[in-house]
Amino acid sequence: MAIREIVAEFNIVAQARKYGIPWWQHPQFLFFVLGSVIAFSSILSYALGRQYIDDPHVIALLIIVFTGISLAVAFLITKSFERLAQAARIKSEFVSIVSHQLRSPLSNLVWGLEFLMSGRAGKIEGAQLEYFQILKENSSRMQELVNDLLVVSRIDEGNLPWEQKEFSFEGLLNTILKEYEPYMKASNIQFQMQGQQNLPKIMGDSSQLHHVISNLLENAVRYSWKEHANSVPAKERESRIQIRYQKKGKNLFCEIIDNGVGIPKEDQRYIFSKFFRSSNVLRHETQGSGLGLYIAKSIIERGKGSIGFRSKEHVGSTFWFILPFQHSNNLT
Amino acid sequence: MKTILLIEDESALQKTIGEALSQEGFSIVSALDGEAGLRLAQDKRPDVILLDLILPKANGFEVLKSLKEHEGTKNIPVVVLTNLEGMEDIQKALDLGAVAYLVKSNYTLQEVVEKVKQVS
């Protein structure tokens, strides 16, 4: 058992995955690099010492002192790396445990409310219903937030669930649109779709891609309002969302275009980072966790694709992603 | 009247689901831990079992395995109702013979009731 543990300590790739860091940042690997540098410089100082110092005892002593100092420094550096990596892992575990623990009471809350609101535990009057509605919306928001936090902690741990299967992009898109049609109608949005027919099948995780597209679409709807709407001509006041997709080489190219508030220039570089919410959005909307786009980017990158956007404040945003039809993991 | 066995350690959730199901005309028996759940399954021979996975005494996987090993209970459809959503957990439960796997936070109460109606 002890031997197996020692061997496991030296399995850098596995350890790096456990800590959620790249292998070249792993303490053991760094220690090995530093060790090699130390050995090399010891030999070098011996060679130089022989040339300039006559007494071999002095040379030996110098080398011992030099090596000792280098080793101590190396040890300190790698130790602090190890501590940092461990802290990151503990944080991620903490998020995961807390989110799991939060889920059970939340289910109780959400289902209990659903039961009450259905009137099966007694009739609910007008004003009460309004407050129940507030409770329901907020508990659903909390549930979404907890779910997002769990996904983020899985991403950070390198444990994003991924079921590699062939699926049709058009099929997936139609499923999502069915879910979103009522929401878009209620938000008075003119929706348009323009896509290439008979696309090849995609190899990847359809439920994760579902998550990405839903998120982009939801953002497009949520941020479709206009600032200073009254001063804008009626035609431009109309909110429009368009989805376009086509085959480009070996990849699928899809973009979701809106004419909503857009993202201020100074905020654009942070848009895919965790917990970031744009300043113009914060003025109007309290909802949103700032995790959606971070998750979307992680998922697309897990599928060996890329994601990006272009946006202009008050004009609108276009979010696009590219995904290979055949995941390269599958070909190797 | 069809009988549903609810094996769930959260009494609040047990009450909500139990109430919703009994209003749909089901008769409900419930257990707060795995061992009690197994005993009730043997005694009452319910039409459907709703099973949580994180349970005291015997966990949901053990309960499911044991249910499928016994002649009297192996044909009772088991719907797993849990907050675990790892791929391995889902696969394990389906391999052990669960007919459905519902992650609590992804379903409304009504959807759970519909599922039970569908498999009963």
Residue of A nearest to B8 (CA): A104
pLDDT band at A231 (very low <50, low <70, confident <90, very high): low
pLDDT band at A284 (very low <50, low <70, confident <90, very high): low
Q: Where are the beta strands (DSSP E) in A174-250?
A: 189-195, 202-204, 239-248
Summarised one tens digit per residue, pLDDT across range A78-90 is 787 778 778 877 7
Structure tokens given for A318:
């276009």
pLDDT band at A48 (very low <50, low <70, confident <90, very high): confident
Summarised one tens digit per residue, pLDDT across range A84-118 is 778 877 777 777 777 777 888 888 899 999 999 98
Would you kindly state where each structural domain of chain B is located, as residue ranges? 3-119
Q: What is the pLDDT of residue A286?
A: 57
Residue A59: CA atoms inside 13 Å, Cβ hemisphere, count?
15
Would you kindly state where each structural domain of chain A is located, as residue ranges? 3-89, 100-157, 165-324
Question: Of the candidates B17, B105, B109, which has its C-beta nearest A103's C-beta?
Answer: B105
Taking an 8 Å cut-off on Cβ atoms, the answer to whether B108 and A114 are in contact is yes
Chain B environment of A114 (Cβ under 8 Å): 108-110
C-alpha–C-alpha distance, residues A118 and A238, integer Å:
36
Chain B environment of A165 (Cβ under 8 Å): none
Check whether A229 has a pLDDT greater than 60: no
Q: What is the pLDDT of residue A308?
A: 95
Taking an 8 Å cut-off on Cβ atoms, the answer to whether B109 and A143 are in contact is no
pLDDT band at A1 (very low <50, low <70, confident <90, very high): low
Q: What is the pLDDT of residue A217?
A: 94
Assigned CATH for B3-119: 3.40.50.2300
Q: What is the pLDDT of residue A147?
A: 85
Structure tokens given for A83:
């501590």
Residue of B nearest to A143 (CA): B105
Please state, as a whole number, how many other Cβ atoms lie within 10 Å of the Cβ of residue A322.
18
The predicted model scores a pTM of 0.67
C-alpha–C-alpha distance, residues A209 and B12, integer Å:
35
Question: Of the candidates A100, A106, A114, which has its C-beta nearest B110's C-beta?
Answer: A114
Q: What is the pLDDT of residue A332?
A: 36
B91: left (phi over 0), alpha (psi -120 to 50) or beta: alpha
Write the DSSP assignment of A305-322 as a string of letters.
-EEEEEEETTTEEEEEEE
Structure tokens given for A81:
């790396």
pLDDT band at A76 (very low <50, low <70, confident <90, very high): confident
C-alpha–C-alpha distance, residues A144 and A288, integer Å:
9
Taking an 8 Å cut-off on Cβ atoms, the answer to whether B10 and A108 are in contact is yes
Question: Of the candidates A104, A111, A147, which has its C-beta nearest B109's C-beta?
Answer: A111
C-alpha–C-alpha distance, residues B6 and B113, integer Å:
12
Q: What is the pLDDT of residue A127?
A: 86
Q: In terms of Cα–Cα distance, which of A175, A309, A198 is closest to A245?
A: A198
Q: Report residue A277: phi and psi, to 5°.
A: -130, 135
Taking an 8 Å cut-off on Cβ atoms, the answer to whether A120 and B20 are in contact is yes
Q: Mean pLDDT over all residues of chain A?
A: 83
pLDDT band at A42 (very low <50, low <70, confident <90, very high): confident
pLDDT band at A317 (very low <50, low <70, confident <90, very high): very high
Percent of chain A with pLDDT over 90: 25
Q: Are A17 and A160 in contact (CB under 8 A)?
A: no
Higher-confidence position of A37 and B29: B29
Task: Choose, out of B23, B81, B89, B104, the residue to mutate when testing the contact with A (most A CBs < 10 Å).
Answer: B104
Assigned CATH for A165-324: 3.30.565.10
Chain B environment of A111 (Cβ under 8 Å): 13, 16-17, 108-109
